[in-house]
Structure 1
Amino acid sequence: MAETIRRPGLDEQGFLAREGSLARVPAAFRPVVAAARDRLPDIFGTRLHSAYLYGSIPRGTARVGRSDLDLLVALREEPGEADRVAVRTLGESLDRQFPQIDGVGTLLYGRDRLLSEPERYDLSWFVACLCTPLLGDDLAEHLPRYRPDSLLARETNGDLALWLPRWRDRIAGAANTEEARRPLVRFMSRHLVRTAFTLVMPRWNGWTSDLREMAEAFAASYPRRAAQLRTAAEYGCEPVGDAEVLRTYVDDLGPWLAAEYARVHGIKAPRPD
């Protein structure tokens, strides 16, 4: 009998394994993580339910001076505008203080939304599988196990068609400089590669957060678009400020990917704004 191949990112039962851990945080980034952990309770007090790391830092793949600090903060109630201002201010402060990071991105939600039924295969999955607990009680204890199936694919990235008009607006509103376009290329490249990967995730039957591995998984099923995805994966790691790249994303690759995603998995269920 042929040996069963277990794809990366799955446990022995075939469920998605949680990626990242505090033990994997590179030494250069530990002071940044410690500062965030110390300051969040000062900002939110008893309203803070829990906080998490995600991205390259808890995966242990962060690069000094190139990687950003990614945080998810869960409050005991829905956040307001003052809370969003507070996390932006915290991020700016950490970015100024620690040259080893290139920016801070913080997702801010109420506990109830993160555990809600509409978010079960989107934000809930994100917390349970892609976030590393930093503070408070881990919400993953209240969540199910997940498999890399079509339902998960649809509810995580089945809304690309809704994003494309917003991307066009962002591109039109950006300054006409390479410096202004570079972060747009980075963000959109990563979004497209991750969406392309989850398109094929059920048949690939595994999980990875490595952009280049995502592109290769996609390429095996869509060889005609393979070169585009491999290039996008490179730009997600080393972005350029090229206007033509952005045009291709919103006029060619993005619309094709949105249509193919809807054909294969359907469209993501609507969420409250």
Structure 2
Amino acid sequence: MKLPDLNRKICLFSVDQNEIVSTSTPLSTLIPQPEYIPVIEDLIACLTTGFRTNLHSVYVYGSVAQGRAIPNVSNLDVVVVTREPCKDSQSSLFNTINWRFQREFAFVRGLSIRTALVAEVASLEALFTWGFLLKQCCVNVMGDDLAECFGEYVPSWEIAKQWNMDIGQTALEHRQQVALANSQQEMLVSQRQMAKKLLRASYGLVMHKTRRWLDDPVACGQQFLTVYPERAQTIERLEILLGTRAIPKRSVVALVDEFGPWLAKEYQKLEFKIG
């Protein structure tokens, strides 16, 4: 497996700790759906005001970054990298931004923010976690792009298991979210999140064979079927969950109860076989 070029890692520690550097690329060329550009501009303005010099960089990933966002359904997924740990006042800023978005950008279903320190990202331990996420999944919308400090990644079992080896536990967590859904909207969000995770995890079982980077859940499921055609009915049902209609809770629970443990066992089998 080809690993990121560790000789380039030195640049991770040369990041200017005292100055916020805005990306020179216009958002209009980074974000495929123009209706989301004002949303991201507003987010950057709020983060810059709230974090000031502690803010290092901001990244967008998921459906908004890829141009697949569905208004009133899709979240805005964001990574915020800071120089120092967040203060209490800075942590509460995320709640304030969420409230602001509900009022100003109601078509954004929610704001999902992951946070990290520069020192966490700039570590060997982060090669297959933060390094992979920033390099392969994220679009840098503000600040120095830490993804540039990593070499190119090659689709591999090592990466697949890093992100999906805990699929058994993750499936249970998604099941719990589905079970606790108290409205059609909550059910829709929960079933979509569950379906996306299971479809992407299914592709992880075959990624080392296809040698392709895929993130679109439907494409992931279809590639999975090239190796596991007997699971066609399961993939078809998961694709239905990606729609805009809430599915009866008992059907969703039954699906994750069957497919989640199956995925977990397949990952264990492949780990024993490939190592």
| CA 1:163–1:67: 2 relative to 1, 3 Å | closer
Q: Find the aligned partners of 1:243 and 1:152 in 2 and give their Cα distance.
A: 32
Q: Provide the C-alpha distance between the structure 2 equivalents of 1:91 and 1:140, rounded to a whole number of angstroms.
A: 26
Q: Percent identity?
A: 26
Q: Would the alpha carbon gap of residues 31 and 70 (structure 1) be closer, same or farther in structure 2, given more than 3 Å must change?
A: same
Aligned equivalent of 2:221 = 215
Match of 2:9 in 1: none
* 2:95 aligned residue (88, 93, 106): 88
1:234 to 237, 240, 254: 240
Q: Which moved more, 1:126-135 or 1:116-125?
A: 116-125
Distance 1:37 1:237, change over 3 A: farther
Tell me, which stretches of 5 or more residues in structure 2 are unaligned?
1-26
Closer/same/farther in 2, CA of residues 174 and 222 from structure 1, 3 Å limit: same
Q: Distance in 2 between matches of 1:34 and 1:105?
A: 16
Question: Counterpart in 2 of 1:198?
Answer: 204
Aligned to 1:124: 131
Residue range with higher mean Cα deviation, 36-45 or 21-30: 21-30
**How many angstroms apart in 1 are the aligned matches of 2:270 and 2:100?**
43
How many residues align? The count is 246
The separation in 2 between residues aligned to 1:133 and 1:105, in whole angstroms, is: 16
Per the normalisation by structure 1, the TM-score is 0.81
Of the three residues 252, 255, 261, the one matched with 1:255 is 261
Matched residue, 1:37:
44
Offset from partner CA, 1:64-100 (integer Å, 9 cap, x none): 3333222110111234655443223212312320133
CA distance in structure 2 between the partners assigned to 1:27 and 1:59 by the alignment: 12
**Per-residue deviation, 1:104:** 1.6
Q: Which residue of 2 aligns with 1:113?
A: 120
Q: Does the 8 Å contact 1:70/1:106 carry over to 2?
A: yes
| Cα separation, 2, equivalents of 1:52 and 1:134 | 6
Name the aligned partner's letter for residue 102 of structure 1.
R
Amino acid at match of 2:159: L
**Structure 1 residue 241: deviation in Å?**
4.1
RMSD across aligned positions (CA):
2.3
Q: How far apart are the structure 1 equivalents of 2:154 and 2:168?
A: 25
